[in-house]
Amino acid sequence: MDILLEVQDTFHHVPDDAVQILADMLDLSVVDVEQTLTFYHFFSKEPVGKYAVYLNDSAVSDMFGRGQVLKALEEEAGTTFNTVSEDGLIGIWGTADIGMNDQEPAAIINGTVFTELDPPKVKKIIQGLKKGKDLQDLVKEVGEQIHPHQLLPVMVKNNLRQKGPVLFADYEVGKALQQAVELPPEEVVEIVKESNLRGRGGAGFPAGLKWEFCRASGGDEVYLVCNADEGEPGTFKERVILTELPRLLFEGMAIAGYALGVKQGVIYLRYEYRYMKEYLESVLQEMREQNLLGKDLAGKQGFDFDIRIQLGAGAYVCGEETGLIESMEGKRGEPRNRPPFPVTKGYLDQPTVVNNVETLCSVPKIILEGADWFKSMGTGESAGTKLLSISGDCEKPGVYEVEWGMTIRELLEMVGASDVQAVQVGGPSGTCIDPSQFNRAIAFEDLATGGSIIVIGKDRDLLKDFVLNYMDFFIEESCGSCAPCRTMNLILRNKLQKIMAGDSSKGEIDELLNWSMVGKETNRCGLGQTAANPIISTIENFRSLYESYIETDSEFVSSFDMAQAVAESCEIVGRVPNIEAH
Amino acid sequence: MNKNGKLKFEIDGKTCFAEKGQSIIDAAAANGVFIPSLCHVEGVKPAGSCRVCNIKIDGRTMTACTTPVAEGMVVDNDVPELNELRKTVIEALFVTGNHFCPSCEKSGNCELQALAYRYQMMVPRFPYEFPVKGVNARAKLIFHDQNRCILCKRCIRTIFKDGKHVFAYRNRGGEHLEVVLDEELASQFTEKEAKEAMEICPVGAILKKEEGYLVPIGERKYDKTPIGSDIEK
């Protein structure tokens, strides 16, 4: 992966020669190297331009003017979407959600993030690129200095709106680690287990149990991976943790490392967040100097632990823990079959714990304050707090740390949202609820979420702007190896389009719903099992929107358009069709 | 566990025995129970990609090729709910490729076609997508036809030349994923290897050149007996 990233950066694509050299070096066939290369969005076999502009494709980006930004980009760069300008300078591409939903439209240019774009900014940026200006200087030109650290770019706002009692409460770096290493490792696991801390990535598996399974499985080497590949459209909380609380995260990893007997921790950082890599490296270095990483950590003889950062290259499915492990091994990020689970056979077939960023950040606080303190917050099945990324039609988009159990109604009030048509909880793979359900709570036992909340206003076209966008997203981001995921998402999207074109009968809404249930039963990973959720939850909660497209009571509507079907052949033979006569 | 150290388990009420570590699909076959699959190859690490071998254990859907037998396991296999799912997946494969059986050299030996008959597919419930796909005829002894490929990964997992993969996935997702072959390596195939490649493919995506219809349609493997009947005898 690292080699491919470097080649891509240098040549703005991965040329055939480079593939051949890599194949020879690794003793692989050319197609084998290419199967990895072509899996990732930010690798390309064709030149993507000296400056490759990846404009966010997310639904929220569309809400805030992506169309106009794209038009301005095309005009200024003198090229069209999905192509490179003639001089090879600028290419314009789309990309799945880049974790900037609170400041859309946003784009990534050669790893640098530009946010809150509008046509004048686009003009400035493209003209600057044409003049050969440095990207960082351009960022300063169109953005304002927000983060005090010089290694962090000026444009990405963190929009941290509400600090809660767990993650964002004041704390002293290193104290929790010090306390942890004075306990036997099993006891650290026991405390985390006792706290009922559940995985914050979305699935909610108890973290302590995962650790216990890993400890029980033996193996020569144990690995700890921090999953910083947040790709669920609408989530950006980890962006905020990584830049606001990196020390807390690294300390959490060190404690996990101690509890599990890990020597090397890895942060799998999504490509979209590579702009913060240098900053994170500097924090790691600082912590090494403070003996919070490295050898004999916190003065504990024989406890060696360090962290390295592994960059991804653009693949939503790598947020699934086994897809992530495959990617770390330099392969296509296709989720694995389970069993075996990563805790017994993970990275390089060794026991591996993959924990979400937010999960690991909760650990030091639990060690310091105790499991009972943690359990005193939240609900019965969801202890502690949750970091929410809230975006869409609201006054105050951003990141909020709230106790589990908050209702959607309270949440909407908190972010300043009125005239709400729907709330998408948990991103596209979650559920879309209507106002009658706004008294439901954010909790594993009710509305589970990894943190993505998108507020959808009354004036939005829910099916066209959201459901369709989400289906396109899943079609593109599916690894494709499970037959039902590869085939059904496409079939569902096309059926949805047929309904929206007014070519369907009433019965076809139920048909669409029935077809949507196949993936949940048959697919291997979370992506495949939830990819139909945008359709399922909107048919269940917004059926009238579907019905509004049905024009007749008849049981059969032909979607066959005779005139269109014969248009091409008529043109060739120069005949004017006379359909009505037949 | 019985006295030979075998695991005792049950499929659709039938008592079966398995070696330790054996997958449900292999153990079922050894006990005369057919579980359909389009990607499984006995003796090769399972891919779990076609999702046709889905079975139920304690109400949970699992793939029989990737799940090892456990003592006392109770498996549902030949039940209406699962057969309907299998039929759905097979139909989805038909409409997302271009499968014209009458003109295909593999007709009668094709596992996709045979399973479609077994699960009584008449016409797919889904509209045909008619995707535009390519044919690669550059390798010396084989054709590679994307139109018929069901992306099951059998060729990727089993066919090597000099220890290197001859076939590989390219791209990803619902619209762009395809299987491609390494022309240089594939051109080094011997007659025997070319024949084996054709046989490992469950459909007609890999065909041997300069040879066709040696056995007439109507007299081929699944023309005579339905798929699975060799296991169920």
Residue type at position A337:
N
- Residue A96 pLDDT more than 70? yes
- Residue A361 pLDDT more than 90? yes
pLDDT in tens, A265-297: 999 999 999 999 999 999 999 999 999 999 999
Which chain A residue has the Cα nearest residue B126? A491
**Distance of CA B167 to CAs A227, A476, B41, B112, Å?**
31, 22, 16, 20
Pick the CATH number of A39-142 from 1.20.1640.10, 3.40.30.10, 3.50.50.60, 1.20.120.1200: 3.40.30.10
Does the CB of A10 have a partner CB in chain B at under 8 Å?
no
- Residue A581 pLDDT more than 70? no
**Which of A216-253 are b and which e, b meaning 16 or more Cβ less than 10 Å from the residue's Cβ?**
ebebeebbbbbbbbbbbbbbbbbbbbbbbbbbbbbbbb
pLDDT in tens, B15-57: 999 999 999 999 999 999 999 999 999 999 999 999 999 999 9
pLDDT of residue A178: 97
pLDDT of residue A292: 96
- Residue A148 pLDDT more than 70? no
Cβ distance of A484 and B89 shorter than 8 Å: yes
Does the CB of A532 have a partner CB in chain B at under 8 Å?
no
Cα Rg of chain B, angstroms:
18
Interatomic CA distance for residues A243 and A277, integer angstroms: 10
Q: Where are the domains of chain A?
A: 39-142, 161-375, 385-460, 461-582
Q: Which of B50, B51, B136 to mutate to test the interface with A (most CBs of A within 10 A)?
A: B51
Strand positions, DSSP E, A166-254: 223-228
Interatomic CA distance for residues B64 and B79, integer angstroms: 14
Interatomic CA distance for residues A423 and A60, integer angstroms: 13
Do the domains A39-142 and A461-582 sit in the same CATH topology, yes or no? no
Considering CB atoms only, which of A39, A518, A523 is closest to B88? A518
Confidence of residue B1 (pLDDT cuts 50, 70, 90): low
pLDDT in tens, A296-315: 999 999 999 999 999 999 99
Confidence of residue A531 (pLDDT cuts 50, 70, 90): very high
Please provide the CATH number assigned to the domain covering A461-582.
1.20.1440.230
For domain A161-375, which architecture applies? 3-Layer(aba) Sandwich (3.40)
Considering CB atoms only, which of A29, A31, A480 is closest to B177? A480
Cβ distance of B95 and A491 shorter than 8 Å: yes
Chain A residue numbers with beta carbons less than 8 Å from the beta carbon of B172 are: 38-39, 315, 332, 477-480
Confidence of residue A117 (pLDDT cuts 50, 70, 90): very high
CA-based nearest distance A509→chain B, Å: 14
Q: Is the peptide bond before A340 cis (omega within 30 degrees of 0)?
A: yes
B143-182 residues touching A, CB cutoff 8 A:
150-153, 161, 163-177, 180-182
CA-based nearest distance A377→chain B, Å: 33
> Is residue A347 a contact partner of residue A220, using CB atoms and an 8 Å limit?
no
Sheet holding B60-63: strands in order across?
B14-18, B7-11, B74-76, B54-57, B60-63
Give the class (CATH, top level) of A385-460.
alpha beta
**Which of A394-429 are b and which e, b meaning 16 or more Cβ less than 10 Å from the residue's Cβ?**
beebbbbbbbbbbbbbebbebbebeebbbbbbbbbb
3-state secondary structure A167-185: CCCCCCCCHHHHHHHCCCH
Q: Is the peptide bond before A397 cis (omega within 30 degrees of 0)?
A: no
CA terminus-to-terminus distance, chain B = 26
pLDDT in tens, A507-517: 999 999 999 99
Contact residues for A580 (Cβ-Cβ < 8 A; gap 6+): none
pLDDT of residue A564: 83
pLDDT of residue A556: 77
Considering CB atoms only, which of B38, B176, B182 is closest to A30? B182
Chain A residue numbers with beta carbons less than 8 Å from the beta carbon of B66 are: 337-339
Q: What is the ipTM of this complex?
A: 0.96
**Distance of CA A38 to CAs A8, A30, A333, B105, Å?**
12, 12, 11, 31
**Distance of CA A198 to CAs A201, A247, A292, A363, Å?**
9, 21, 25, 11
Query: Looking up tokens 């036992």, which residue turns up?
Result: A445
Other CB atoms within 10 A of residue B155 CB: 23
- Residue B2 pLDDT more than 70? no
Query: Looking up tokens 């008619």, which residue turns up?
Result: B130
Considering CB atoms only, which of B49, B93, B167 is closest to A481? B49
Cβ distance of A31 and B166 shorter than 8 Å: yes
Chain A residue numbers with beta carbons less than 8 Å from the beta carbon of B89 are: 483-484, 487, 518, 522
Domains located in chain B, CATH noted? 7-78 (3.10.20.740), 86-210 (no CATH)
Query: Looking up tokens 């494969």, which residue turns up?
Result: B93
